[in-house]
Chain A
């Protein structure tokens, strides 16, 4: 019987699909989405993900503000974003439908848990009538009503779990159904379930059963007549894993630690969306990593400064409000010229702002936000996997130039994931570091050819010396109130940071090297910009692209690059901060495309702007 039914169902090939899972913040949507992503990555598709969740951990069930979503975009070709508009929406309750429907592609597919469409939940979602009976909805979308709660409960009626715990398995039912519809294997998730819940066998078995029941439901029910297949992408040869930005940062610093021979010390205070990095590094004890969960943000950075003084690869991780608190200590690291990496996973601001949403509005803060003339190099990661290399780059700059470095990431690439072709560990260059031990000719502020002062760590005989936040006399480092010395030292510290430019590779322009329009970006907008440029070019528009990693100092050829184009489009998730910096530093005007909704750019928003700027002439 079953075989006959399978035979009846059509298998349709798609190039790419975007799915959004949405439900209550307690429904396990992040887990469902990330499991679907991991399986899809293992299956061989290229993919991008976008978790979108409220700051409340368990907001009251059924409410609009408690809706948590996870979007995954997967394809048989290269992709750069989590998708602009979902093709499929899985809505576990009316609130999830209401919040997410406006984003869904017209004619898209909706799978709803009908059990939750009762009068109470409809009222919580502020629906006056049941939308599943709404003609407009039914005619504009393909709606599949599934009694997920009931089906799940029936399947698990033999389980020794409580009704409440049984109900919590329903996201695995939904996941199983999606695996069937999109022709994915269920084995990787079963393996994961047993790794995660192995010690609680009842829960593991119930989740496995829910998953399989969902899968077979798709197979046996009459409701679904079509399954979809998205073939594996033709990715370059290599070993891959699915990676999110925060994990990549943690891995990058471990790489920097091994390549420099310095132990990691991370001083940090938990803050969304940066906490993962502390969590990951805390688990790498067998790499000699020391993590210190400090009493506050200030103790996070100052303990790291203490560890840097002692010779560690010192780090502190945070997000905007924490950056504000760390500001004074950053000045101390500048004055004492100690290596330190400050990682800011940007979120919506100001103040507490939008903790779980993304933004790029801390650029001014990173470049300028301290008392006194206080230069700190700033670099930004552009994709989840780029976070790995950016962490290494930040460490290299800090150690070579004896300076704090600010690494900017954002909530979008921190939590979003993509398949990552793993680098050969041996191909990552060593990071040369040496402590000063020679007593002869030692002065705490005598500089090398890079203007870096010596790293003379406590415990070194004969090099006992004092440093501090008061202005230092050149060379001997004693406290100095001399006016000429102060001006000299201010300029010297600025010159040292500017000197980093010598190590920054020239920017490479993608496509035409000059012309009508260049799209310039920095940080996490890379994916959306790249997709927009690729699509615009496919339509015949001549547009080039360049992306900045080094924001202070800039690459040497930045002005030349920008001046090679008649127009420069600069999309930013702020009110045009880099645009202002370019105007003041390079006297170059750009066309600023800004968005400040706590959400990443859709590639179409950038693409439309490209088309608008080029008008009818396609850039020719």
Chain B
């Protein structure tokens, strides 16, 4: 069952510290913003992912989170709204040896950039997508986003939004992303682990990070991050372990057909052995789909961790193979052979 999926980008012996990844630019997010934590966890994690600094590139679109590249002392490209994944795709296809990361928000990736997102997943382009999901438009000062809950009252929805939100992991799953995970800005250890796992993945890695916007959507994830409520509202998905949550680890989740059911583990009629055991590498997307839906089911805890990770050849691998095959068959092209091919005639 355990299939280790690793990305073999050039590793090295150089020891970095988190400071090596801080640029000389002042960080300009609002004080208290969840983005600070994401930046800190990335900078703490990157020394351990074994990639030379010059081979790392951060690409972003537009939005608060898209300022991210300016604060990382790697190569960085702050592009245009929604297009980060497409620009990152072009870079990765042309330079497969680079480790390409995308910092993006719920508006940038799922609204204006939705098309590029699903196609990046479909093509399994080897990119790491970090979605800073704060369920609001922050940079434009508080309008509802494609992940805002229905009925959300904002400046552009004074009577409540009538839209249904996207379910990001489910969208990634439907688009065949090969790595789908979720974490929280206020759970640094878990977030660091997820960043490492994303870094190790070969193929499109999608990591949704619930991130608090303390100005325009403060407390959106409070139930999931507050010490008092967190345990009862979050279930940590761990490979090979049963789904257990609750303050006293006394709530379990089992499957009744395709329906998840919460069971009380204090009740002797319920056994840990009957619980749903999480399999990150499940070849079927069905369980990951059910897990993604937990957030739409009243009473169910919000899953964090890896929904699913599968292995299949990346776009780059397919492209490389084809170029090699054709070159082997036809020989390396020369300008002479190309211009003076069939259908020429000579005038004397």
Contact = CB atoms under 8 A, between A and B. Distances in A.
Interface string B294-335: 000000000000000000000000010011001101111111
Contacts of A421: 347
Interface of A: 38, 41-42, 44, 235-242, 251, 254-255, 258, 263, 265, 267, 284-288, 290, 292, 294-296, 298-299, 302-312, 314, 328-329, 331-332, 336, 421-423, 425, 428, 457-470, 478-479
B343 A287 contact: no
8 contacts: A42-B343, A240-B344, A241-B343, A242-B343, A299-B119, A306-B86, A423-B339, A461-B53
Most chain B CB neighbours (cut-off 10 Å) among A38, A235, A308, A468? A468
A464 B335 contact: no
Contacts of B331: 286
B327 A286 contact: yes
Nearest to B341: A241
Q: Please name the 10 residue pairs, one residue from A and one from B, whose CB atoms are nearest each other, closest first.
A: A306-B90, A468-B78, A303-B90, A466-B76, A306-B91, A285-B326, A307-B94, A295-B119, A306-B87, A299-B86
B254 to A, nearest CB: 40
B46 to A, nearest CB: 12
B79 A44 contact: no
A307 B91 contact: yes
B25 interface: yes
A235 B348 CA distance: 9
Q: Which of B25, B97, B322, B323 has the most CB of A within 10 A?
A: B323
A44 B78 contact: no
A415 to B, nearest CB: 17
A237 B348 contact: yes
Contacts of A251: 338-339
Nearest to A338: B77
B176 to A, nearest CB: 14
B238 to A, nearest CB: 35
A291 to B, nearest CB: 9
A38 B80 CA distance: 46
Given A310-B98, A458-B91, A286 B79 contact: no
Nearest to B328: A286
DSSP majority for the A interface?
A: mixed
A328 B80 contact: yes
B115 interface: yes
A244 to B, nearest CB: 12
Given A44-B347, A425-B339, A466-B76, A302 B87 contact: yes
A302 B90 contact: yes
A285 B319 CA distance: 9
B340 interface: yes
Contact of A296 (B75, B78, B115): B115
Interface stretch (B30-38, B54-62, B192-200, B266-274): B54-62
Contact of B336 (A307, A314, A425, A468): A425
B244 interface: no
Interface of B: 23, 25, 52-57, 59, 62, 69-70, 72-80, 83, 86-95, 97-98, 115-116, 119, 319, 322-323, 326-327, 329-336, 338-341, 343-348
Contacts of B53: 461, 464
A285 to B, nearest CB: 4
B347 A238 contact: yes
Nearest to B21: A464
A34 B88 CA distance: 41
A239 B331 CA distance: 23
A328 B116 CA distance: 16
A546 B80 CA distance: 41
A44 B345 CA distance: 8
Nearest to B83: A302
A258 B335 CA distance: 7
Task: Give the interface centre of A332, A336, A421 by most chain B CB atoms within 10 Å.
Answer: A332
A303 B116 CA distance: 10
A376 B116 CA distance: 26
B59 A306 contact: yes
B91 A42 contact: no
Contacts of B335: 254-255, 258, 425, 428
Given A236-B347, A328-B80, A288 B323 contact: yes
A372 to B, nearest CB: 13
A284 B333 contact: yes
Contact of B89 (A237, A303, A428): A303
Of the listed residues A306, A331, A336, the one surrounded by the most CB atoms of chain B closer than 10 A to its CB is: A306
A478 B76 CA distance: 12
B262 to A, nearest CB: 40
Contact of A265 (B55, B56, B90): B90
Contact of A470 (B78, B90, B119): B78
Contact of B91 (A284, A309, A469): A309
B54 A290 contact: no
B52 A311 contact: no
A238 B344 CA distance: 10
Contact of A284 (B25, B54, B88, B338): B338
Contacts of B91: 306-307, 309-310, 458
A237 B347 contact: yes
Contact of A312 (B72, B94, B97): B94
B346 to A, nearest CB: 5
Contacts of A314: 90, 94
Nearest to B320: A290
Contact of A303 (B57, B87, B345): B87
Given A44-B345, A240-B344, A328-B80, A295 B115 contact: yes
B55 A458 contact: yes
Nearest to A265: B94
A295 B116 CA distance: 7
Given A44-B345, A303-B90, A459-B97, A286 B332 contact: yes
A474 B140 CA distance: 27
Contacts of A235: 347
Given A292-B93, A458-B95, A239 B345 contact: yes
